[in-house]
Amino acid sequence: MSQARLSPGVHSGRLSADELARNFSDVAPPLDAHEARVAADRCYFCHDAPCIIACPTSIDIPLFIRQIATGTPDAAAMTIFHANILGGMCARVCPTENLCEGACVRMEAEGDPVRIGALQRFATDGLMAREGHPFRRAAPTGRRVAVIGAGPAGLSCAHRLAAKGHDVVIFEARPKPGGLNEYGIASYKTVDGFAAAEVEWLLGIGGIELRHSQLLGDQMTLEALRAEFDAVFLGMGLGGVNALRTEGEERANVLDAVAFIRDLRQAGDLGVLPVGRDVVVIGGGMTAVDAAVQSRLLGAENVTIVYRRGQDRMSASLHEQDHATSSGVRIICNAAPVAIHGNGAVAEVEFAYTEDGPDGLVLTDQRFRLKADQCFRAIGQRLEGVPVGLVLEGGKIAVTGPGRSSLDRVWAGGDCAAGGNDLTVTAVAEGRDAAEDIHALLTGGDNG
Amino acid sequence: MADLRSDFIGIRSPNPFWLASAPPTDKEYNVRRAFQAGWGGVVWKTLGSEGPPVVNVNGPRYGVVHGADRRVLGLNNIELITDRPLEVNLREIKSVKRDYPDRALVISLMVPCDEDSWKAILAAVEDTGADGVELNFGCPHGMSERGMGSAVGQVPEYIEMVTRWVKQHSRMPCIVKLTPNITDIRKPAEAAKRGGADAVSLINTVNSITSVDLDLFAPEPTIDGRGAHGGYCGPAVKPIALNMVAEIARSPETRGLPISGIGGVTTWRDAAEFLALGAGNVQVCTAAMTYGFKVVQEMITGLRDYLDGHAMELGDLIGRAVPNVTDWNRLNLNYVTKAVIDQDACIKCGRCFAACEDTSHQAIAMKPGRVFEVIEEECVACNLCVDICPVENCITMRELAPGEVDRRTGLGRGDYANWTTHPNNPMAKAAE
């Protein structure tokens, strides 16, 4: 065992290159043709299938599985893409046990659903590996739409608009498109640069101009965009990170989990990424799990997720929680941070056990401390840089119907819009539905 | 424990499971393995006349129909009779029979349709020690083009003539194997009986094209871009075979004629069904070709358990369902059932609803929460929902009690009455 592995503090190179490569390989390797055929044969082709209803993008799952079973996986992929142009990424990151697979009647029958996510990946991977883009654009309409953010919502909206014949300009604040797909998802869920490849494939439809390093409010204003374009879609996600508001939060090595995940995704060499020997992650969502598991995979010896409420309230799915615990992450529930101790850098995090009562969460007198040389905040993100004039709801852009904001000819969708559930697939649905609404208004003469 | 020992037209075997004349019984090596695995008997693959043997194609000779998970539902073949020299087969038959005197060993024969040819082959097989002969009047491909196989089996007069020759020139028990590629299976069975056959065996394979290569535009199996029809067998043909066995078993002309049941026997249950419809034993091929010879062990234990569970001996089962095979016009039109859905067993797939709503009688309601309920006022008891439900016994049929009102017709359930006396039947006679 190398010395680096056990040295306290935040260091890079705890594991060998081989170990890192193994740890960060595809967490759910793709089905081969035989596996797909066997899995597809289990679908009952239900009437008014519960899996379709459970899918935020309403993919016709029984149809695409039947298309796989009958030897036409490309047709299956088109069934998926017509509903969800980011079906490839969703196949990798959807919490399927809470969505389609959780609703599968095979759960009722045998407690073992049809492997819908894996089958979706099989179909979409196959078609995306082919030359060219499978959708064609309608005749040009001469209309132009601005899309803010090249994340799942913006990309979905842009693709649907382009398909309808409109010209789209996407303004992306970061140097690369993809949003959370590119910057915010654990590396082992989307290996081999899939997020970037998917965006490139999506843009293959044509009619979409991507301008990067364009932050709304800095490089352009909503006012100017509304003047220049026929419609604007806001899909900029959540740029801010919630603070713990805990004493000692300013100490060194108390970091945002999203930044850690982003840096890991963008790192060329995982061996240079520093990670603690004792890592504490505060939060209960996918971000917490992604940060915790990847800390372990980078070589942290002890990683603990601490969540302030009961396990049933964790927004990370059970599958994600199982993945964390089977990766050696400990999960402590019903405990909230009260102080971060240390001399300059974090050394310990102090927690109080909580009780979830009728008046909300209350801290008890029961305290404990966890050794920590690195602590990640993963307690949610918030909307930043909201343009003036937009009505908000719960800190997000208020929308009615298919993403209509309070401003004329301005739509919003994805994480920045109120009412969603922070899932990639929901963002895709919202972007798509807003595009349909924009198209209807732009072509129906009812666009003010 | 039930005794599975079988005596079929005087041919004894330790169980009623024989391997049919087919590729698995073409040579000593295979047959020895079959006997080691526990098969009660074999019908050796069809021998032809002395002289240069037939030749087979050198490309694929089997085609297939798959179910879910590539389960073999049907197999078709364009293989001919044995392509090995007659004397080799005879030597091997003798050797195997010497080592397995307790097993049934029957030789399948197919020679040109003249008396001398049959006389010669019968003389040749006489001293092998085999227990009997089976006349292959069934193969529908290749040999039939040369006036043999099903070309004989499709002409009752030929069947009778050849059977008569065989009985005249041999002391051996004679089984006539029938082709299903005819309109009325009773006619060839009657002909065999008239000719003196000791038994019939059926069915041989069904004329078939299993699939078409959609790039080559040719039937499969494809030989150099062309395909010929083959003989279809396996689970898919079982219903056809069961009906034909039952037709012979219940026909006044052929009642009592021993039957060796063939066609898609894959499990002990399939075998038991053939026996119940009047077969004295069964012959198996596709199940062995799909899973190997070991399948017989499941058939043996399964049949024994079934017989024990019903306190029956093998002989009690044979023909037990024959009296219940009748004509449609004898079915009780006052027998009324209604579908019942077990809500605890239901997995809410909704296939019963789709099937009934789209293709039947709109007798299933889909209620909030995906609750599916039978509408008795509409249910004609067609059984489609029972058949397509993926959960066994989730949907069942409830029989209305005598006098109970059928909510569809508003009529109370009456006593037995069939079409022959029904008022809508123009040919109806007054009840006797």
The mean pLDDT of B244-273, rounded to a whole number, is: 98
Candidates B69, B350, B391; nearest CB to A46: B350
Q: How far apart are CA A46 and CA B350, in angstroms?
A: 6
Residues B193 and B216 in one domain: yes
pLDDT, position B430: 58
Q: Are B347 and A48 in contact (CB < 8 Å)?
A: no
Helix (H) or strand (E) holding B328: none
- pLDDT at residue B34 above 80? yes
Do B272 and B338 fall within a single domain?
A: no
Q: Per-residue pLDDT for B375 more than 60? A: yes
- Do residue B64 and residue B110 come from a single domain? yes
| Structure-token pair, residue B415 | 């006593």
Whether the Cβ atoms of residue B92 and residue B255 lie closer than 8 Å to each other? no
pLDDT computed for residue B395 by the predictor: 98
Over residues B247-251, mean pLDDT = 98
Report CB contact under 8 Å: B347, A50.
no
Annotated catalytic, B139?
A: yes
Average pLDDT of chain B, as a whole number? 96
**List of chain B residues whose C-beta atoms are within 8 Å of the C-beta of residue A109:** 347, 390-391
Minimal Cα–Cα distance from B219 to chain A, Å? Answer: 19
Sequence-distant (≥ 6) Cβ neighbours of residue A98 within 8 angstroms? A317
Looking at residue A373, its amino acid is D
Q: Write out chain A residues lying below 8 Å of B348, CB-based.
A: 46, 50, 105, 108
Same-domain pairing of B164 and B30: yes
Residue type, B104: A
* Residues in B 294-353 with any Cβ partner in A closer than 8 A: 347-351, 353
Distances in whole angstroms, Cα of residue B135 to Cα of each of A164, A275, B49, B159, B162: 71, 82, 13, 9, 9
Residues 6+ apart with CB under 8 A from B174: B132, B133, B134, B135, B163, B166, B167, B196, B197, B198, B199
Sequence-ordered list of residues with C-beta below 8 angstroms from that of B170, at least 6 positions apart, any chain:
B122, B126, B133
Chain B partners within 8 Å of A45 (Cβ): 351
Predicted complex ipTM: 0.86
Contact B349 A105 (CB under 8 A): yes
- A420-445 average pLDDT score: 94
CB–CB contact A48 B68 (8 Å): no
Give me the mean pLDDT over the A6-30 stretch: 93
Q: Which of B303, B324, B345 is the last residue of a domain?
A: B324
Q: A 44-63 residues with CB below 8 A of B? A: 44-50
Task: Select from A45, A46, A109 the Cβ nearest to the Cβ of B391.
Answer: A109
Give per-residue pLDDT as tens, A48-97. 999 999 999 999 999 999 999 999 999 999 999 999 999 999 999 999 99
Whole-angstrom distance, CA of residue B5 vs CA of residue B11: 11
Q: What is the mean pLDDT of chain A?
A: 95
Phi-psi region of A213 (alpha: psi -120 to 50; beta: other; left: phi over 0): left
Q: Which residue, among A25, A325, A315, has the nearest Cα to A186 in the 3D structure?
A: A25
The reply to whether residue A46 touches residue B351, judged by beta carbons under 8 angstroms, is yes
* CB within 8 Å of chain A, chain B residues 66-85: 68-70
- The pLDDT value recorded for residue B150 is 87
Calculate how close chain B gets to A104, using CA atoms only, in Å. 9
Q: Could you tell me if residue B56 is inside a domain?
A: yes
Same domain, B363 and B261: no
Residue A419 in this model has a pLDDT that exceeds 80: yes
The answer to whether the CB atoms of A46 and B68 lie below 8 A apart is no
A142 has a pLDDT exceeding 60: yes
Q: Same domain, yes or no, for B273 and B237?
A: yes
Sign of the torsion formed by the C-alpha atoms of B323, B328, B331 and B336: positive
Cβ-nearest to A50 among B70, B370, B390: B370
> Are residues B51 and B90 located together in one domain of the fold?
yes
Residue B427, domain member (yes or no): no
Give burial (CB, 10 Å; 0-12/13-18/19+) of B135: buried
Beta bridge mates, A441: none
Of A38, A50, A106, the CB nearest to B69: A38
Q: Judge residue B333's burial from the number of C-beta atoms within 10 Å of its C-beta, 0-12 exposed, 13-18 middle, 19 or more buried.
A: middle
CATH of the domain at B108: 3.20.20.70
Which helix (H) or strand (E) segment holds residue A262: the answer is: helix A257-266
Residue B122 included in any domain: yes
Q: Do A108 and B347 touch (CB under 8 A)?
A: yes
Q: Average pLDDT for residues B292-315, to the nearest whole number?
A: 97
Q: How confident is the model at residue A445 (pLDDT cuts 50, 70, 90)?
A: low
Strand ranges in A96-229 using DSSP code E only, listed in sequence order: 144-148, 167-171, 208-211
A41–B contact, CB cutoff 8 A? yes
* CA gap A332, A264 in Å, rounded: 25
- For B389, nearest residue in chain A (alpha carbons): A44
Structure confidence at residue A114 (pLDDT): 98
Which residue in B has a C-alpha nearest to residue A109's C-alpha?
B347
Confidence (pLDDT) at A448: 40
CB-CB: which of A37, A45, A109 is closest to B347?
A109
> B366 contacts in A (CB within 8 Å)?
47-48
Q: Which residues of B touch A44 (CB under 8 A)?
A: 349, 351, 390
Task: Say if A66 is an interface residue toward chain B (CB within 8 Å).
Answer: no
Helix or strand run (H / E) with residue A124: helix A116-128
User: Are A47 and B353 a contacting pair at CB < 8 A?
Assistant: yes
Range of the domain at B396: 328-421
CB B279 within 8 A of CB B250: no
**Domain assignment present for B428:** no
| A186 pLDDT more than 80 | yes
Number of domains in chain B: 2
Q: B29 and B329 in contact (C-beta within 8 Å)?
A: no
Pick the residue of B349, B352, B370 with the most A CBs within 10 A to test the interface with A by mutation: B349
Chain A residues within 8 A of B69 when measuring between CB atoms: 37-38, 41
- At residue A204 the predicted structure's pLDDT band, cuts being 50, 70 and 90, is very high
Among B327, B384, B392, B335, CA closest to B358: B384
| Percent above pLDDT 70 for chain B | 99
Is B349 within 8 Å of A38 when comparing Cβ atoms?
no
- Domain boundary among the residues B295, B324, B353 is at B324
Quick one: closest CA in A to B343, which residue?
A: A108
Interface of B with A in 30-69 (CB under 8 A): 68-69
Answer whether A278's CB lies under 8 Å from A370's CB: yes
Residue of A nearest to B353 (CA): A47
The reply to whether residue B347 touches residue A38, judged by beta carbons under 8 angstroms, is no
Confidence of residue A447 (pLDDT cuts 50, 70, 90): very low
- Say whether residue A37 is in contact with chain B using an 8 A CB cutoff: yes
Q: Is residue B432 part of a domain?
A: no
* pLDDT for A3: 64
- What pLDDT sits at residue A2? 58
Is residue B141 domain-shared with residue B284, that is, in the same domain?
yes
Question: To the nearest whole angstrom, how far is the Cα of B377 from the nearest Cα of chain A?
Answer: 23
The answer to the question of residue B429 being in a domain is no
Where residue A385 falls among pLDDT bands split at 50, 70, 90?
A: confident
Residues B279 and B301 in one domain: yes
pLDDT per residue over B162-194, tens digit each? 999 999 999 999 999 999 999 999 999 999 999
B354: contact with A, CB 8 A cutoff: yes
Query: Do B226 and B85 lie in a common domain?
Result: yes
CB A79 within 8 A of CB A67: yes
Copy the structure tokens of residue B123. Answer: 């003389």
Q: Is the same domain home to B66 and B169?
A: yes
Does A44 contact B390 at a Cβ distance shorter than 8 Å?
yes
All structural domains of chain A, each given as residue ranges with its CATH number in brackets, are 33-128 (1.10.1060.10), 144-238+390-444 (3.50.50.60), 241-379 (3.50.50.60)
Cα gap B17→B19, rounded to integer Å = 7
Interface contact A46-B69, CB threshold 8 A: no
Residue B133 covered by a domain: yes
Please pick, among B113, B139, B352, B389, the residue that the annotation labels catalytic: B139
Q: Is the pLDDT of residue B133 over 60?
A: yes
Report the C-alpha gap between A346 and A253 in whole angstroms: 6
pLDDT tens, position by position, A275-329: 999 999 999 999 999 999 999 999 999 999 999 999 999 999 999 999 999 999 9
Q: Tell me whether residues A47 and B391 touch, CB distance under 8 A.
A: no
CB contact under 8 A, A46 and B353: no
Read off the CATH number of the domain in which B348 is found: 3.30.70.20
Does the pLDDT of residue A26 top 50, yes or no? Answer: yes
User: What sign does the dihedral A218-A223-A228-A229 (CA atoms) show?
Assistant: positive
Instruction: Let me know whether B188 and B97 are in one domain.
Output: yes
Spell out which residues of chain B touch residue A38, defining contact as CB-CB under 8 Å: 69
Domain boundary among B279, B306, B324: B324
Q: Which residues pair with A368 in a beta bridge?
A: A351
Q: Does residue B411 lie in a domain region? A: yes
Name the A residues in 69-108 with CB < 8 Å from any B CB: 105-106, 108
| CA B265/CA B84 separation, integer angstroms | 28
Cβ <8 Å between B348 and A50: yes
Q: Is the pLDDT of residue B109 over 60?
A: yes
- Provide φ and ψ at A331, rounded to 5°: -115, 120
Q: Would you call A109 an interface residue with chain B, using a CB distance cutoff of 8 Å?
A: yes
